[in-house]
Amino acid sequence: MRVVVTGTDTGVGKTWVSAALARPGDAYVKAAQTGDDDDAAVVHELSGAEVHTLARYPEPLAPATAARRAKLPTVLMAEVAHFVAQLDHERVIIEGAGGLLVALDDQGGTIADVAHLLDAPLVVVARAGLGTLNHTALTVEAIERRGLRCLGIVIGAWPRDPDLAAECNLQDLTQIAPLLGKIPEGEFTTMELPA
């Protein structure tokens, strides 16, 4: 099974959700890492999965922009899909960079295009606070418009002391897509993928 983890935005907790879904014996692929973070190392440490990062760019920007600024080639969405298709693992978790439609390559390819090439369902990671409903609805709508399947939504950093917006979002997100769970802020937990 191949699953793409995408987000409604950058910094929503895609890496923590990827680690929560991954298990030893699985593979994790980060198509493009931007900035100083090392998402693959985090996923490996937390889950024990085999990890791969296909491109690294020094600035924390959209991958195509970061590549252009660093004068480096972009990793093409077709290359990502080909790499993933060659992996001999029962489960592969593919994590995007930024949101669903952020340019991955200099030809406008996105993580949505990678999911399409792999015929892989997606998990959408959202924030707990204000703006979540609109961003999540737009992301799920874009997934469905492309003929892809959304397995559900995960709240990436559930606050220790949730405010009214977070509590209401928890209920309202279920009208957009199934709510798979929430990752407590600063804590690690494992999650199961729906069938």
The size of the chain, in residues, is 195
Look up residue 100 and give its two tokens: 């669903």
Phi, psi of 110 (to 5 degrees): -125, 175
Does 39 show up as a binding residue in the annotation? Answer: yes
Does 34 show up as a binding residue in the annotation? Answer: yes
Q: Strand, coil or helix: what is 36?
A: coil
Terminal CA-to-CA distance of the chain, rounded, Å?
A: 10
Decide: 34 and 57 in contact? Cβ < 8 Å: yes
Of 14, 30, 71, 182, catalytic = 30
Does 50 show up as a binding residue in the annotation? Answer: no
Look up residue 23 and give its two tokens: 């298990």
Does 144 show up as a binding residue in the annotation? Answer: no
Residue type, 96: G
* Residue 14 annotated to the active site: no
Q: Is 16 exposed, middle or buried (0-12, 13-18, 19+ CB in 10 A)?
A: buried
Does 48 show up as a binding residue in the annotation? Answer: no
Does 95 show up as a binding residue in the annotation? Answer: yes
Does 97 show up as a binding residue in the annotation? Answer: yes
CA distances, 187 to each of 25, 83, 165 (Å)? 23, 31, 21
Does 139 show up as a binding residue in the annotation? Answer: no
Q: Can you say which residues are annotated as belonging to the binding site for Mg(2+)?
A: 15, 39, 95
Q: Can you say which residues are annotated as belonging to the binding site for substrate?
A: 34
The residues annotated with a catalytic role in the active site are 30
Q: Can you say which residues are annotated as belonging to the binding site?
A: 15, 34, 39, 95-98, 184-186
Q: Can you say which residues are annotated as belonging to the binding site for ATP?
A: 39, 95-98, 184-186
